[in-house]
Chains A and B, each alone.
Chain A
């Protein structure tokens, strides 16, 4: 709570106020500092501080919510470092970097907008909020391009993920929940306790023909021998690395599909699942943030804010910074793995 709004106590007395008003703008009436005071608060300052406390607590809940995903990420990265070294190469890191820059800039314009609102500069506030909004739009556009390209490459969420299909067969999930008969040879041995070797089909290159940049998907690997997934690591026990002796020491930068040990292949799709879940949830937050910015923008344009009352701009600003901050963590964790 670095900034505090001028509180009721510092309202200049009558004579001064009149003098001040004449000095600033002869016809303008000074805004009433108590105009927005709710009945259960004593001073505007108390009300502002309460709102801010509430917002910070809300931001804490947001961080904890993403925290769950970050924990899942850490568990998988600790258990399967080689998967992450391989899979992150499939993401478009330049697009990710562009988005990082966009968001940082829009956070900056947001901070300026808050300042402008505090100084009662209506035009400037509106302009800066609009710029921030553009940042959000830009971010989403880039993200859309990214998702589209990944979709074409077959890196998509859930059963649409090519790596899941490669290892578990196209209908693995459906067979698993017993909705469809087993039609696929590759899926016949799925499930817990299966120990036979699975012949998994890798989709032919035709599905990726339209991909702009040919992805380094292992084309020579039309039919691969893949062992089925080992039973999932048992939570905290996984740190003991029982039965992981055949794991090759990961190379420092990145791996190729052929270098992955078989059971790592079985986990590769999870990197993309996490990627889509994390960035997807983040994108939803961006959309919410943009709607909020639009809302304060309209109110700012209508002149609802002044030097005594700018709480919504301030709070929306905090929210936008949080959305930005989460991306600052997501970008290196997903795109820049060493």
Chain B
């Protein structure tokens, strides 16, 4: 239980990571593979997470493109002359797409990459509260990911060599990312590996959550009260609370599912007197809050970026902060809206519907406050802001269609259709992904000390935005017309929508590829970044880009994070410098 710092503990046997040399920055102070793999530095862990999470995104994206390619024609045959195998392949693809995207990409993306990198620096601290747990969290992520890779590998092998299936057993996964019983207790695909994988990924999520809560409680510097924290910290705090409170329930649910499959305990299996609906309650008790694990950090990024690029104090700080907590709280009470048609009592339906409407209120509060922040601001339409504006636009569509789904009568019609698919892609992809990419651009100069090329980045954003809307907007239409989700074929009347959607998906893929190119290009050819290129007043910008291993040479003094009056743009520096020293403290390492 070695949760604290320097004393010997469970890490005793491991070779120690090399000590940092003075001078230079966190990227260069120590060298060699081991100095990365065993690092306890939150910034390096964030970068390792970034590598992992983006690979998961690439993998999940390939699955998605495969799905869309199959749907281009209403009767695509991947395996000539054997439609059943094509459908099986399709089922595997959408399951792995969902599971990889949800458990390995969207949930960890913002907290583990951007949160890990910025949270301690926003606090003016040297690291998170428990650096070793932070590293353990990363390796849990890797461990969980291996299970998914294993499933994928077996699936691929079985397709390639169907004759050898008895050697390694059935692979693939065809339950959908929700693992609904009773199908998940009867299918002979690799449910146990998948649930074990998700279980371990859950640990990684919990460890990040514990770390963030403890860091925000214990490491805030003198002068940074709760209501002087940057809003990203509020968002990450609320997220961490959900991660800590909801994930264990998923854990026990998955354990019960494993017990059901291996021992046949009859908790969920109706053929043994079990209750499959109980599984759905358990699952959504986690997974609805989990959608807020995905969106809340994105909302935090939006609050940071929108204020900086409007050169204006954030509007309604207290409301944005409180609405994060409100979302976290109410988010625990709405899970039943995923089960309107599974035979709940009408009373439960009505209550869950009402609460679902209630959870939209804090989301709307945020949206209005962001809009007000822009109002009469001095708007600099740099790439991060562009992404953030797109995210707000897409969130409006996604959130409002959530209200459609929350209304009982409408949901009976559109449940399990493409309408739902479009809804959650607008929020998960539209909001979370766009805010994540926006956040990457925003903190990229701090992470790597390089500026990306602005024009190229804006064009890539536009391509992705167009692709996103092409892909998913038509899905609302076909969903409303009754096209069910998770089908590999469809009546010919839906062809035009599916084709637009497929074209959109590949456009989106192109956009993402351009983003990647742009960011990689900047690493080698980008201009050197100044310490504070955007003129933000929060603490992570008050050190060099990239920062040294210990983050700050002298401890920065926190002020109001959204007060930009102390910074002026200096064109020789291509960044902002202080025009007056902060109250009662020396200027930290003058730029």
Which residues on A are within 8 Å of B, measured CB to CB? 36-41, 46-51, 53-55, 57-58, 60-62, 64-69, 71-72, 75, 157-159, 164, 167-168, 172-173, 176-178, 190-192, 229, 231-237, 239-240, 266-267, 269-270, 273-274, 277, 281, 292, 295, 304, 309, 311-312, 315-316, 319
Contact = CB atoms under 8 A, between A and B. Distances in A.
Nearest to A315: B1
Contact of B344 (A58, A75, A168, A237): A237
B126 A40 contact: yes
B276 interface: yes
A54 B248 contact: no
A54 B273 CA distance: 40
B130 interface: yes
A235 B282 CA distance: 10
A57 B247 CA distance: 13
Nearest to B212: A57
A239 B345 contact: yes
Contacts of B342: 234-235
B6 A36 contact: yes
Interface in B95-138: 120, 125-131, 133
Interface of B: 1-9, 120, 125-131, 133, 185-186, 188, 206, 209-211, 213-215, 217-219, 244-249, 251-253, 255-256, 259, 262-267, 269-278, 280-282, 336, 339, 342-345, 348, 550
A101 B245 CA distance: 31
A235 B210 contact: no
B271 A236 contact: no
A72 B218 contact: no
Contact of B265 (A71, A267, A273): A273
Contacts of B253: 68
Nearest to B131: A40
A51 B248 contact: no
A235 B210 CA distance: 32
Contacts of A36: 4-7
Nearest to A57: B210
B213 A53 contact: yes
A246 B570 CA distance: 84
B196 to A, nearest CB: 15
A39 B271 contact: no
Given A61-B247, A235-B278, A292-B1, A53 B264 contact: no
20 contacts: A36-B6, A38-B6, A40-B129, A48-B4, A51-B130, A53-B218, A54-B130, A55-B1, A57-B210, A61-B244, A65-B251, A69-B256, A158-B263, A159-B264, A164-B266, A172-B272, A176-B264, A232-B273, A235-B342, A274-B267
A79 to B, nearest CB: 9
B271 A312 contact: no
A235 B266 contact: no
B37 to A, nearest CB: 20
Contacts of B2: 312
Contacts, number: 209
B42 to A, nearest CB: 9
B263 A50 contact: no
Contacts of B269: 173, 176
B125 A235 contact: no
A178 B255 CA distance: 23
Nearest to A66: B252
A234 B7 contact: no
B271 A38 contact: no
Nearest to A272: B265
Nearest to B246: A64
B7 A304 contact: yes
B7 A176 contact: no
Contacts of B6: 36-39
A54 B259 CA distance: 30
A182 to B, nearest CB: 13
Contacts of A281: 255
Contacts of A158: 259, 262-265
Contacts of B188: 177
Nearest to A266: B273
A197 B342 CA distance: 28
A189 B186 CA distance: 17
Nearest to A235: B277
A53 B128 CA distance: 13
A58 B262 CA distance: 28
Contact of A240 (B3, B131, B345): B345
B249 to A, nearest CB: 5
B3 A315 contact: yes
B278 A72 contact: yes
B186 A72 contact: no
Contacts of B278: 72, 75, 232, 235
A236 B256 contact: no
A267 B267 CA distance: 10
Given A54-B210, A157-B265, A172-B264, 4 more contacts: A55-B1, A273-B266, A304-B7, A312-B1
- Which of B9, B218, B244 counts the most A-chain CB atoms under 10 A from its CB? B218
B70 to A, nearest CB: 28
Contact of A176 (B1, B4, B209, B271): B271
B47 to A, nearest CB: 18
B188 to A, nearest CB: 8
- Which of A173, A281, A319 counts the most B-chain CB atoms under 10 A from its CB? A173
A50 B218 CA distance: 6
Contacts of B126: 39-40
A280 B476 CA distance: 47
Contact of A234 (B1, B213, B264, B277): B277
B273 A269 contact: yes
Nearest to A269: B266
A192 B264 CA distance: 16
Contacts of A311: 3-4
A306 to B, nearest CB: 12
B344 A236 contact: yes
B290 to A, nearest CB: 14
